[in-house]
A and B are shown apart, each in its own frame.
Chain A
């Protein structure tokens, strides 16, 4: 099941990326696959939004990158979460939880 990217809240993508990277190192495609995996296939991240997000988050200091060899011996750019990124994940998780709880409650009331 695919969802339109436009429906994905801006903060959500950052949150998913930060979560997907975890403590590992991934290149762009790897991150996309990982997001797909951890959301059970609900979200497919397209390169058109993935790469701008990665670059933006790197500039914000949440991610850092380095060049390395990929599984099939290609040069690829790898991303890692920084301390700031970890902190940001905490902040965003909290925000998300608050929002989703609030929305959930709102939807339950009749």
Chain B
């Protein structure tokens, strides 16, 4: 045993010594045996020949000894790996191209697919989450993701195919005061069965009891784990204590577990209150208050989604019978439907991610095609070598194994690099959403944050995806890399060797395969490039959209007074606040407004024009109402087009006035709005108003959507509880943050200031998702283009190397060098053109996928298509010209000599 181990070690460690000993031993044997035969009277030549014939070749004997050696397998594997690395190093251009190509493909695909899996495919973090459904409705007016409160109550007691029907209402942001600085928290009202339906247990205390979620229920709250930790120092005795929410004391009854994720990635509630839904399900009169309830239901065991849909249809039909005529009209043609909760939640983020996934898959395909092509080209050059080694007695299986090991080495290096790339990208996504961090400080992480949102913490490298992509890489390299080894075991020695000596080109089949691979690479790259072109053009269009405000030197912050506060007090607060911030050093102009540009936080109101009575509900014109102090437009830098701005004379005692935007003037008053009267519906009362000014359109809903009609009202005449601060500064705007916060706290210590940001950062944030997706797709497309270029280069370098002799003869016969260049390029041209045609055709059909992301560009944009095609053609031509130039430089004498 010991001797065996020692031998194994010796064999592995002193390979060279062991090998040379073996050589000597066999040589000595041959020599001695030859001597014997000579002594027996044979001629020396003949003697040696006979000895060798008896052995069956010395190489054969040596191999037999090696195979019998201790650790033979390990040793020959090590040898194969060393040999493989040597082969790869002998041809570093090939090795690095293949490795980097594969690593990029594996890394990008793994990262993007891991994100897709975490955000779209992974089951929701609730037990039995596949049984959870969202109940929603389509009316003739709009698609609603929620039910009317009264319908919800009826659904709870009617629907048989669900074991429980739970709901939540968005109670919006509220102010949390008490220990520490006042803070703005997101509050969600939930029914008592909400958490039990999700099958989530409390970490501390209890959830709401079934009596507590009705109208005028007790003042109890459940805390999110995050709030409990950050605000209440993880106080284990919190249950039964009170906190102050919107100025009212509330008793804490429970705390959620740390891993709980609210089933809506857009909302991340800080605390939960009882939903407070009226138990009266009747919609028999119009004199009821309407609330909207987001409804999540769990399918009963054994019930299927189609059964539930049928149940819901029956429910909808039955409900209408009890409706008052107003609601009958509203519910005409209404459908109440259910869909898996997961599908609903993936909703918004779904499309960009799927587009990215498609792009990354294309890059991966190109990468694989490229490696396959490189391997094929290389295999043909190496075929004579393989055949020769076979002829010299190397074991065929060994040759195949060597080739296998060489390719395994290549794939392994590529996979490790790919994993590193995937891990890096995932780390960025993961760290882009650490709770409590406004900005991670890394621009890349900030970029990634927007599209993956709050769930990005759940993104991690998916082992299965990595295994799959790396496995595919392995398969590609091996499949195309083994060709020569397997080919050589079939090849006829003499023809191959002769062919190699004459530089005869590779088989027709291989050539065709290579052309197909190349054409598809170019086609795919052109497709990606057109997509990138469309997105770039959309982005520039979005950037050119007039924002209606000047983002420079402008600091903004949001504040929200408690909804229970009397408007008189809100007005007084604002009157105290404005002079305080106005006098801060560095502030040029200060204003307040109920909405900030790009931050869609105003109120929609319906209108009536002229003296006519208002139109029926659902047909009334609407506008976005924003309440501002007179300095508002001076701060935003919005131009007044006609009439006047507000002054402090436009107070509660004066006649009601309004300023409208261009969109309002065009939509409702043919552009001629000045001095026109209209009435605004405020809680059912139509209050008359007069337009005294028209201002330029300001974008409140982001840069991409059309501007809505907006009515500005003087804050003194129509105070709103959203008292946002806007400052135009003469210094760096962010430097005023602390001073502004202090000014607000000085007036009301219970008033939180939140979402402080410069207008420039709001602008950049509003473009973040579009910019990121554009950048990713542009980089994927560039990658695809470069890879395809490398593919062309590789194939034609090989093509030229096979034709050196032909070139030399042509030169010798009087062909000019430019002619040789043309000859090579003319071989490449049909492939490049075919690839372009396929790419344009593919782009024509597949760019529909991008339709939702395009702004002011058609799906079949000739500019993008032709630019993409031209760019790819250019790169491919360059790729083919480099080897063509080397062909044209062929040295006649040396080539003809070498043959």
- Which of B19-27, B182-190, B495-503 lies at the interface? B19-27
> What is the distance, in angstroms, from A97's C-beta to the closest C-beta of chain B?
27
Q: Smallest CB-CB separation from A82: which chain B residue?
A: B3
Q: Smallest CB-CB separation from A30: which chain B residue?
A: B32
> What is the distance, in angstroms, from B12's C-beta to the closest C-beta of chain A?
13
In the complex where A59-B7, A77-B21, A77-B24 touch, is A52 in contact with B29 (Cβ < 8 A)?
Answer: no
Task: State which of B3, B32, B67 has its C-beta within 8 Å of the C-beta of A52.
Answer: B67
- Which of A15-23, A34-42, A68-76, A102-110 lies at the interface? A68-76
B68 within 8 Å of A by Cβ? yes
Which B residues between 792 and 815 are near A, CB-CB below 8 angstroms?
none
B65 within 8 Å of A by Cβ? yes
Q: Smallest CB-CB separation from A49: which chain B residue?
A: B64
> What is the distance, in angstroms, from A22's C-beta to the closest C-beta of chain B?
20
In the complex where A59-B3, A72-B35 touch, is A47 in contact with B67 (Cβ < 8 A)?
Answer: no
A29 and B32 contact, CB distance less than 8 A = yes
Which B residues between 345 and 374 are near A, CB-CB below 8 angstroms?
none
> What is the distance, in angstroms, from A36's C-beta to the closest C-beta of chain B?
12
Question: CB-CB < 8 A to B33: which residues of A?
Answer: 29
Give the number of residues in B that approach A within 8 Å (Cβ atoms).
Answer: 27
Rounded to whole angstroms, the CA-CA distance of A76 and B36 in the bound complex is 15
A51 and B25 contact, CB distance less than 8 A = yes
Task: State which of A46, A60, A61, A76 has its C-beta within 8 Å of the C-beta of B32.
Answer: A76
B567 within 8 Å of A by Cβ? no
> What is the distance, in angstroms, from A30's C-beta to the closest C-beta of chain B?
8
Task: State which of B21, B54, B69 has its C-beta within 8 Å of the C-beta of A59.
Answer: B69
In the complex where A27-B29, A46-B54, A56-B68 touch, is A75 in contact with B61 (Cβ < 8 A)?
Answer: no
Rounded to whole angstroms, the CA-CA distance of A84 and B70 in the bound complex is 18
B68 and A55 contact, CB distance less than 8 A = yes
Question: CB-CB < 8 A to B569: which residues of A?
Answer: none
Rounded to whole angstroms, the CA-CA distance of A70 and B2 in the bound complex is 31
Rounded to whole angstroms, the CA-CA distance of A75 and B24 in the bound complex is 8
Q: Could you give, for residues 53-65 of chain B, a 1 whenever the CB lies within 8 Å of some chain A CB and a 0 otherwise?
A: 0111000110011
B70 and A48 contact, CB distance less than 8 A = no
Rounded to whole angstroms, the CA-CA distance of A88 and B55 in the bound complex is 28
> What is the distance, in angstroms, from B8's C-beta to the closest C-beta of chain A?
8
Task: State which of B2, B25, B67, B68 has its C-beta within 8 Å of the C-beta of A77.
Answer: B25
Question: CB-CB < 8 A to B2: which residues of A?
Answer: 61
Rounded to whole angstroms, the CA-CA distance of A70 and B67 in the bound complex is 27
A48 and B56 contact, CB distance less than 8 A = yes
In the complex where A27-B28, A52-B64, A70-B32 touch, is A60 in contact with B55 (Cβ < 8 A)?
Answer: no
Question: CB-CB < 8 A to B7: which residues of A?
Answer: 58-59
> What is the distance, in angstroms, from B70's C-beta to the closest C-beta of chain A?
5
Give the number of residues in A that approach B within 8 Å (Cβ atoms).
Answer: 23
Consensus secondary structure, chain B interface: helix
B31 within 8 Å of A by Cβ? yes
> What is the distance, in angstroms, from A65's C-beta to the closest C-beta of chain B?
9
Question: CB-CB < 8 A to A28: which residues of B?
Answer: 25, 28-29
B666 within 8 Å of A by Cβ? no
Rounded to whole angstroms, the CA-CA distance of A55 and B66 in the bound complex is 9
Task: State which of A52, A53, A59, A77 has its C-beta within 8 Å of the C-beta of B28.
Answer: A77
Question: CB-CB < 8 A to B140: which residues of A?
Answer: none
B70 and A59 contact, CB distance less than 8 A = yes
Question: CB-CB < 8 A to A53: which residues of B?
Answer: 68
Question: CB-CB < 8 A to B28: which residues of A?
Answer: 27-28, 70, 74-77
Rounded to whole angstroms, the CA-CA distance of A60 and B70 in the bound complex is 9
B69 and A55 contact, CB distance less than 8 A = yes
> What is the distance, in angstroms, from B23's C-beta to the closest C-beta of chain A?
11
In the complex where A70-B28, A72-B32, A74-B28 touch, is A55 in contact with B65 (Cβ < 8 A)?
Answer: yes
Rounded to whole angstroms, the CA-CA distance of A51 and B68 in the bound complex is 10
A51 and B32 contact, CB distance less than 8 A = no
Rounded to whole angstroms, the CA-CA distance of A77 and B32 in the bound complex is 12
Q: Could you give, for residues 67-103 of chain A, a 1 whenever the CB lies within 8 Å of some chain B CB and a 0 otherwise?
A: 0001010111100000010000000000000000000
In the complex where A28-B29, A74-B31, A75-B24 touch, is A47 in contact with B68 (Cβ < 8 A)?
Answer: no
Question: CB-CB < 8 A to B54: which residues of A?
Answer: 46-47
> What is the distance, in angstroms, from B220's C-beta to the closest C-beta of chain A?
81
Q: Smallest CB-CB separation from B5: which chain A residue?
A: A59
Question: CB-CB < 8 A to A76: which residues of B?
Answer: 25, 28-29, 32
> What is the distance, in angstroms, from B387's C-beta to the closest C-beta of chain A?
23
Question: CB-CB < 8 A to B67: which residues of A?
Answer: 52
Report which residue of B26, B31, B60, B68 has the largest number of chain A beta carbons within 10 angstroms of its beta carbon.
B68
B68 and A52 contact, CB distance less than 8 A = yes
> What is the distance, in angstroms, from A48's C-beta to the closest C-beta of chain B?
5
Question: CB-CB < 8 A to B24: which residues of A?
Answer: 75, 77
> What is the distance, in angstroms, from B619's C-beta to the closest C-beta of chain A?
97
Rounded to whole angstroms, the CA-CA distance of A28 and B28 in the bound complex is 9
Question: CB-CB < 8 A to B55: which residues of A?
Answer: 46-48
- Additional 10 contacts, C-beta under 8 A, given A49-B64, A74-B31: A48-B55, A48-B61, A59-B7, A60-B3, A61-B3, A70-B32, A74-B28, A75-B24, A76-B29, A77-B28
Using a CB–CB cutoff of 8 Å, the interface residues on chain A facing chain B are: 27-29, 46-49, 51-53, 55-56, 58-61, 70, 72, 74-77, 84
Q: Which 3 A-B pairs have the closest CB atoms?
A: A61-B3, A59-B7, A52-B68
Could you list 24 examples of A-B contacts with CB < 8 Å? A27-B28, A27-B32, A46-B54, A46-B56, A47-B26, A47-B29, A47-B55, A47-B61, A48-B55, A48-B61, A52-B67, A52-B68, A59-B3, A59-B4, A59-B7, A61-B2, A61-B3, A61-B4, A72-B32, A74-B31, A74-B32, A75-B28, A76-B28, A77-B21
